[in-house]
């Protein structure tokens, strides 16, 4: 049985699949050529990440396709329900990238609050001639300890973010589509364990009480979750991070909030128009940017490969 990992798969996934008798192809096929390739090569399993789309036309045109796998959490690039209605199994790896996305959130936070992006570029050019001036220019950094982090979407990734926030001495408020309370378990290398309960509250409460807000909800709902009204509820001088999905934040409203001083900073790992983000976002001095790399760590890719392989072998092996 042949598997096409069109957006790649780590060796940790290939090895168990080949050991189970599957043939794994990692050829990158252009979207417009994908249907022909799947049919010509008799592909039974299509594995994608965020680049490749598996829509109705592909599902209809590839009758021998048995499974579509998404290496990651969100499946907005797959017509999931339609695939299932046609007998095509759809899988993803919801647990594999939680830690990597959570760490990216704090990478952006630290970089924004201590002006690391700009200072890292000015120091090589002027550090020897304007050291004192640069020191003064970047002397108004902010600390995370004691601040409140608002988490919108309290699933696996949101909970992983909360763990790191607690480790830094932050307070956590969370909003979710469902109301619940759960313990956040922190385990330390010395064997110590701490359990901190978190109860979800309203979106409005999170926005109005948090110093920094990070979003971890699925996309594909159409209307932005965070628009002009929601941004106006946030504390003046606060920060917003979106490492979830493009379209969750109204980008025009975000730019206006930054320009007015309502927000001090924003961080974006995802965009409405990928892979062609709005130039105004890319050029804005108060936005920390990354090109949709939330799950792009070596460790996460290994976990994704292992999870995909285990599910494929369990279902089709």
Question: 294 near 269, Cβ under 8 Å?
Answer: yes
What is the maximum span of the chain, computed from C-alpha positions, in angstroms?
67
- Where do we find the tokens 């594909």? 220
The catalytic position among 216, 245, 265, 284 is: 245
Question: 146 near 279, Cβ under 8 Å?
Answer: no
The catalytic position among 108, 292, 303, 307 is: 292
Non-local (6+) Cβ contacts of 16 within 8 A are: 306, 309, 310, 313
Non-local (6+) Cβ contacts of 170 within 8 A are: 144, 145, 146, 147, 148, 149
Question: 201 near 173, Cβ under 8 Å?
Answer: yes
Non-local (6+) Cβ contacts of 217 within 8 A are: 152, 153, 177, 225, 244, 245, 248
Non-local (6+) Cβ contacts of 143 within 8 A are: 113
Whether 121 sits among the annotated catalytic residues: the reply is no
Whether 299 sits among the annotated catalytic residues: the reply is no
Q: Which two tokens stand for residue 72?
A: 């990651």
170-174 contacts at long range (C-beta below 8 A, 24 or more positions apart) = 170/144, 170/145, 170/146, 171/146, 171/147, 172/148, 172/196, 172/198, 173/148, 173/149, 173/201, 173/205, 173/206, 173/209, 173/210, 174/150, 174/198, 174/199, 174/200, 174/201, 174/206
The catalytic position among 274, 278, 302, 306 is: 274
Whether 274 sits among the annotated catalytic residues: the reply is yes
Catalytic residue list: 245, 274, 292
């Amino acid at each position: 049985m042949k598997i096409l990992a069109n957006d790649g798969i780590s060796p940790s996934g290939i090895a168990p699949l080949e050991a189970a008798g599957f043939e794994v192809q990692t050829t990158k096929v252009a979207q417009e050529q994908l249907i022909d390739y799947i049919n010509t090569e008799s592909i039974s399993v299509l594995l994608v990440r965020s680049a490749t789309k598996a829509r109705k036309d592909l599902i209809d045109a590839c009758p021998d396709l048995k499974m579509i796998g998404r290496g990651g959490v969100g499946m907005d690039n797959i017509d999931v329900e339609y695939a299932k209605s046609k007998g095509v199994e759809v899988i993803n790896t919801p647990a594999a990238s939680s830690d990597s996305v959570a760490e990216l959130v704090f990478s952006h936070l630290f970089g924004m609050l201590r002006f690391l992006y700009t200072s890292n570029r000015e120091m090589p050019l002027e550090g020897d001639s304007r050291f004192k001036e640069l020191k003064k220019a970047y002397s108004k950094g902010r600390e995370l300890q004691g601040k409140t982090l608002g988490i919108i979407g309290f699933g696996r990734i949101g909970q992983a973010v909360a763990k790191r926030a607690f480790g830094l001495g932050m307070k956590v408020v969370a909003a979710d589509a469902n109301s619940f309370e759960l313990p956040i378990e922190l385990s330390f290398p010395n064997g110590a364990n701490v359990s901190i309960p978190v109860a979800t509250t309203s979106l409005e409460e999170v926005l109005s009480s948090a110093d920094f807000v990070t979003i971890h909800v699925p996309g594909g709902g159409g209307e932005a979750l965070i628009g002009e009204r929601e941004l106006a509820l946030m504390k003046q001088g606060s920060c917003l991070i979106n490492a979830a999905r493009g379209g969750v934040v109204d980008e025009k409203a975000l730019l206006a909030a930054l320009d007015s001083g309502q927000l001090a900073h924003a961080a974006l790992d995802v965009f409405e128009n990928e892979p062609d983000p709005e130039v105004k976002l890319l050029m804005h001095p108060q936005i920390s940017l990354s090109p949709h790399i939330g799950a792009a760590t070596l460790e996460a890719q290994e976990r994704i490969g292992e999870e995909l392989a285990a599910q494929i072998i369990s279902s089709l092996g």
